[in-house]
Amino acid sequence: RRTYIGAMPGKIIQGLKICKSKNPVFMLDEIDKLYQSYQGDPAASLLEVLDYEQNHSFRDHYIDMPFDLSKVLFITTANTTDTIPDVLLDRMEVIRIPGYIAEEKYHIAKHFLLPKQLKKHGLPKNSIELDKNALFYIINGWAREAGVRNLDRQLERLCRKKAKSIVKKDDAFPHHLDEESIRSLLGPEYYTGDTIPDKLKPGIAIGLAWTSTGGSVLLVEALSTPAQGSSTLTLTGNIGDVMKESATIAYNYIKNYFNGDTHAIDFFTKNNIHIHVPAGAIPKDGPSAGITMASALYSLVKDKPVTKRIAMTGELTLSGRVLPVGGIKEKLIAAKREHCNTVIMPIDNKKEMGDIPSHIAKGLTIYFVAHVNEVFDIVFR
C-alpha cells in the first residue's frame, strides 16, 4: 500500500483490473459496519458507486477520469439495515435471508463444521463421536443464534480439548460424547431449558419477537397495585418508544373494551397498572407485541390465565384491528423451539405462509385474526 491517498487506484478499479472484465460481481461484506471519521465518509463514496444513475461516470482519485461501473453487479451483506445510512439503503434492493433452524444447523455441523474442525486440529475423522441428540444439545444450549458461528466455536473447543488429551496421553476425554460429558467440557449452557413457566398466572401472555439474530419468545407481564390517588400506567423492560406506544394503545383499548363492566371500571380506577417485558437488560422495540399486551391486560382484569403454549404476534390499533408484522418465519421457528404449538398472527400475514417451508409450520396450529377480539376468543376459551 502506497503511503498517500490517491497514490494508486482504489479498490474498485483494482478489482476490475484483477477480473479483467467490465461486468464482474463485487461483494461488499458487512456494509452495516461503515462509520464516518476525520478521513472521510465511506457512505458518500459508496453512493457514487452503487447509484446506477451516476455510477456510469465513476471517478477514481488516481485515474482522475470517468469510468463506467453501470455493468458491475454489486452485492452487499449486513447483519441489520438499521445502521446503514438511509441515502445508501434507498439505492439497494433488500433481500432478507432468514436464520437457520436447528435442523439446518445440525446438518451443517455434521457434514461441514465438525469435519472442518477435526481436520484443523489434526484429529482422525472418528476421534469425536457426536450423535444427533448430542449435536442438538449443543445447538440448543450454546448456539441459539441466527447463524452457526457460535456453533463452530463450540465444536472448535471440543476438538481443542480432544487434541490436548491426546498430547497429554490422557484417556479421560470420552470418545462418544453425551449431554453430561459435553456439559463438563463446555461448561454451563448459555441458554437453559424452557423460558416459559409451566403454569401462567393471570396477567402473563406469550409474545413472539424478531431481531437480527433470529426469532425469540418473550413474556409480557401485567401487574396491578393499589393506587394512591389517580391510577397510572408504568412500563419497564428496556423498551423503545414504539413499544411504549403499543402498550399505551393496548391499555386504552382494554379500558374501552370493559367500559360497560362495573368491576373492570372499578379495577382501573383503584389500581395502578405495571407492564414489564423481561429481560430488562435486553433492548426491545417495535409494534408487534400489541395484541400480546392487550391479552395480558385482559387476563389481569378478568383474573383468568391465558391458555398455556399459545404465542402471538401482531400490531394493535385503537379500534382493535390487528395489523401485519415482519419476521414470520423466524417467529414460527421460535414458537416451535419453545413448544408453543398454537400461534396467533395477523390475517394479512397469511399470504406469506406460501414461502414458509412445510417442516417449519408442521405441528403448529396457526390462527389468523383481523381483530383483537378474535384473539381473546382463542386464548380465553
Identify the CATH number of the domain in which residue 327 sits. 3.30.230.10
The pLDDT tens digits of the residues spanning 31-83 come to 888 776 666 677 777 888 888 888 788 877 777 788 888 888 889 988 878 78
Give the integer Cα–Cα distance in Å for 209 and 327.
8
- Is residue 212 within 8 A of residue 79, CB to CB? The reply is yes
- All 3 cell numbers of residue 365? 396450529
pTM above 0.85, yes or no: no
Beta-carbon-side half-sphere exposure of residue 311 (alpha carbons within 13 Å): 26
User: Are residues 234 and 374 located together in one domain of the fold?
Assistant: yes
Find the mean pLDDT for residues 148-163: 91
Find the mean pLDDT for residues 348-359: 86
pLDDT at position 109 is: 94
User: Are residues 250 and 272 located together in one domain of the fold?
Assistant: yes
- Confidence band, pLDDT 50/70/90 cuts, at residue 210: confident
The pLDDT tens digits of the residues spanning 238-263 come to 888 888 899 999 999 998 888 888 88
Identify the CATH number of the domain in which residue 110 sits. 1.10.8.60
User: Are residues 211 and 280 located together in one domain of the fold?
Assistant: yes
The pLDDT tens digits of the residues spanning 265-315 come to 888 888 889 999 887 667 777 788 889 999 999 999 888 888 878 999 999
Q: Is residue 198 part of a domain?
A: no
- Is residue 277 within 8 A of residue 239, CB to CB? The reply is yes
- All 3 cell numbers of residue 329? 418465519
- Is residue 252 within 8 A of residue 233, CB to CB? The reply is no
- Confidence band, pLDDT 50/70/90 cuts, at residue 174: low
User: Are residues 136 and 107 located together in one domain of the fold?
Assistant: yes
pLDDT over 90 percentage in the chain:
19
Q: Is residue 192 part of a domain?
A: no
Whether residue 331 lies in the annotated active site = yes
Angle (nearest 5°) at CA 349 between 251 and 79: 90
User: Are residues 106 and 77 located together in one domain of the fold?
Assistant: no
Identify the CATH number of the domain in which residue 77 sits. 3.40.50.300
Whether residue 184 lies in the annotated active site = no
Q: Is residue 3 part of a domain?
A: no
> Which of 26-35, 293-302, 341-350 comes out lowest in average pLDDT?
26-35
Residues near 299 by beta carbon (within 8 Å), at least 6 away in sequence: 202, 203, 204, 205, 222, 305, 306, 380
User: Are residues 374 and 253 located together in one domain of the fold?
Assistant: yes
Number of structural domains (the chain) is 3
176 has a pLDDT exceeding 90: no
User: Are residues 81 and 106 located together in one domain of the fold?
Assistant: no
Listed residue (323, 343, 315, 348) closest to 331, CA to CA: 343
User: Are residues 266 and 368 located together in one domain of the fold?
Assistant: yes
Residues near 74 by beta carbon (within 8 Å), at least 6 away in sequence: 25, 26, 27, 28, 49, 50
Catalytic residue among 105, 329, 331, 336: 331
- Confidence band, pLDDT 50/70/90 cuts, at residue 5: low
Catalytic residue among 288, 295, 299, 329: 288
For 241, the domain range is 204-379
Q: Is residue 263 part of a domain?
A: yes
User: Are residues 173 and 232 located together in one domain of the fold?
Assistant: no
Find the mean pLDDT for residues 331-348: 86
User: Are residues 257 and 328 located together in one domain of the fold?
Assistant: yes
Average pLDDT along the chain = 84
Listed residue (237, 240, 238, 191) closest to 216, CA to CA: 191
pLDDT at position 193 is: 56
Q: Is residue 1 part of a domain?
A: no
> Which of 173-187, 189-203, 215-229, 311-325 comes out lowest in average pLDDT?
189-203
Give the integer Cα–Cα distance in Å for 204 and 304.
10
Q: Is residue 196 part of a domain?
A: no
User: Are residues 182 and 230 located together in one domain of the fold?
Assistant: no
DSSP string, 237-286: SSB-HHHHHHHHHHHHHHHHHTTT-HHHHHHHHHEEEEEE-S-TTS-B--
